[in-house]
Structure 1
Amino acid sequence: MTILITGSTGLVGSRLLQRLLEAGYDCRAMVRGGRPKPAGAHAVEGDLFDTESLARAVEGVTAIIHLAAVFRTGDEALIWKSNFDGARNLMAAASAHAPHARFILASTSNVYDKSQARPGCESDAVAPTQAYPASKVAAERALCESGLTWTVVRFPFVYGDGDGHLEELPAHLLSANWHPAMRMSTIHHRDIATAMVLALDGKFDGHVVNIADDVPASMLDLIALSRGEMTASARPLAEPWAMQVDTALARSLGFRPTIRTVFHAAEQQLL
Structure 2
Amino acid sequence: MQVLVAGSSGFVGRRLCPALEEAGHDVRAMTRHPRTYAGAGVPVHGDVHDEDSLRSALDGVDSAYYLVHSLDEDDFEQRDADAARAFAHAAADAGLRRIVYLGGLGDDADDLSAHLRSRRQVEELLGSAGVPVTVLRAGIIVGHGGISWEMTRQLVEHLPAMITPRWVRTRTQPIAVADVVRYLVGVLEPSAAEGRAFDIGGPDVLAYVEMMRRVAAIEGRRMLVVPVPLLSPRLSSLWLSLVTDVDTRTGRALIDSMANEVVVRDDSIRRLVEFDPMDYDNAVLRALGERAKSRRAS
- TM-score w.r.t. the length of structure 2 is 0.72
Determine whether 1:104 maps to 2:104: no
Per-residue deviation, residues 191-245 of structure 1 (Å, max 9, x unmatched) = 1111112211234211111111122233333213433624378x9xxx9982322
* 2:102 aligned partner, one-letter code: A
- The aligned runs of 1:96-245 (5 Å cut-off) are 96-97=93-94, 99-109=95-105, 112=106, 120=107, 124-125=108-109, 128-130=112-114, 132-161=115-144, 163=146, 165-169=148-152, 171=155, 174=163, 176-179=165-168, 181-202=169-190, 203-227=192-216, 229-231=223-225, 242-245=261-264
Is contact 2:112–2:260 with CA below 8 Å preserved after alignment?
Answer: no
Superimposed CA distance per residue, residues 112-154 of structure 1 (whole angstroms, 9 cap, x where no aligned partner):
2xxxxxxx4xxx4466341x22222112122344321221111
Q: 3-state SS of the aligned residue for 1:248?
A: coil
Corresponding residue for 2:247?
none
Cα drift, residue 156 of structure 1? 0.9
Distance 1:204 1:176, change over 3 A: farther
| Cα distance, 1:5 vs structure 2 | 0.5
CA distance in 1, matches of 2:28, 2:224: 43
Q: Which amino acid letter does the alignment assign opposite residue 253 of structure 1?
A: L
SS at match of 2:193: coil
- Structure with greater helix percent: 2
Work out the CA distance in 2 between the residues paired with 1:27 and 1:182: 38
Amino acid in structure 1 at the alignment position of 2:267: A
Matching residue of 2:83: 86
Q: Is the 8 A contact 1:223 1:230 kept in 2?
A: no
Residue 38 of structure 2 aligns to a residue in which SS? coil
Identity of aligned residues (%): 24
Letter in 2 for 1:188: A
Residue 142 of structure 2 contacts residue 284 of structure 2 at CA under 8 Å; is this kept in 1?
Answer: no
For the structure 1 residues 166 and 129, does the alpha-carbon distance in structure 2 shift closer, same or farther, using more than 3 Å as the test? closer
Q: TM-score, normalised by structure 1?
A: 0.78
With over 3 angstroms needed to count, the CA separation of the structure-2 counterparts of 1:263 and 1:58, relative to structure 1, is same
Q: Does residue 258 in structure 1 map to residue 242 in structure 2?
A: no
- Unaligned regions of 5+ residues in structure 2, if any? 157-161, 230-257, 291-298
Task: Answer whether contact 1:104 1:151 (CA < 8 A) is retained.
Answer: yes
C-alpha spacing 1:51/1:176, structure 2 compared with 1 (3 Å): same
Residue 248 in 1 paired to residue 256 in 2? no
Q: Can you list the C-alpha shifts for 1:14-64, whole angstroms capped at 9, x where unaligned?
A: 122232233332111111147731333111111112222111111111110
Match of 1:115 in 2: none
SS, match of residue 226 in structure 1: helix
Between the aligned partners of 1:84 and 1:240, the Cα distance in structure 2 is: 23
| Residue segments in structure 1 that go unaligned for 5+ positions in a row | 113-119
For 1:3-82, what aligned pairs fall within 5 Å after superposition?
A: 3-33=3-33, 36-73=36-73, 75=74, 77=75, 79-82=76-79
Change in Cα spacing, 1:92 to 1:188, as seen in structure 2 (3 Å) is same
The code of the aligned residue for 1:143 comes to: L
**2: distance between equivalents of 1:34 and 1:151?**
27
- Alpha-carbon RMSD: 3.0
